[in-house]
Amino acid sequence: MAKEIFMTQWFSDQMLLAGEALIKRLDETDAKVQAAFWLLDAEEKTWTLTIVSPLVESDGPRNYYRRIDDINESAKSDEEVIALHDISVTNTHNRIFKAFLSIRDTVLWNEKLWVKKRLGKNFIGGVYFEDMYIYRMDWKLPGDNIPSTTAEKAIPQLTS
């Protein structure tokens, strides 16, 4: 079985890389990850990887956690994984996800600025967060009339 990473109050490269690997594997299983970010609880001084997916609402959080657990169990013994108790799965009604969606029609909105970024001591859409690292923020919800682009995928690729 893979090694669980040790969480501290300090954001580490291990956390960043383990989260990135988990999101990649979730994508490979069509887990419909709409947003993924690490969030520091200001009072507890603990980090939680939050994964936002419409499947949490349609299939239930228990099934989504089971999907993550299966991914962790299939990891190689030399890989580092995030323990389930350090992960929060939520539907698209998550208050932080909604706060980011609330700025997409303002001057603050630029998809490329909100991917693979660490933000600290900020208010976004009226929600304060002490510290966070954003992997992905998909700016389109079902029924929206904006083009469907995930911030991570919106960065232009270099061509030769």
For the stretch 120-144, pLDDT in tens is 898 888 899 899 999 998 866 555 6
How many Cβ atoms sit within 10 Å of the Cβ of residue 52? Answer: 25
How much is the mean pLDDT over the chain?
A: 84
pLDDT at 124: 87
Q: In 3-state terms, what secondary structure has residue 125?
A: coil
Q: Where are the domains of the chain?
A: 3-154
The dihedral formed by the CA atoms of 103, 87, 91 and 145, expressed in degrees to the nearest 10? 40
- In this predicted model, what pLDDT tens digit does every residue of 49-93 receive, in sequence order? 999 999 999 999 999 999 999 999 999 988 999 999 999 999 999
pTM above 0.85, yes or no: no
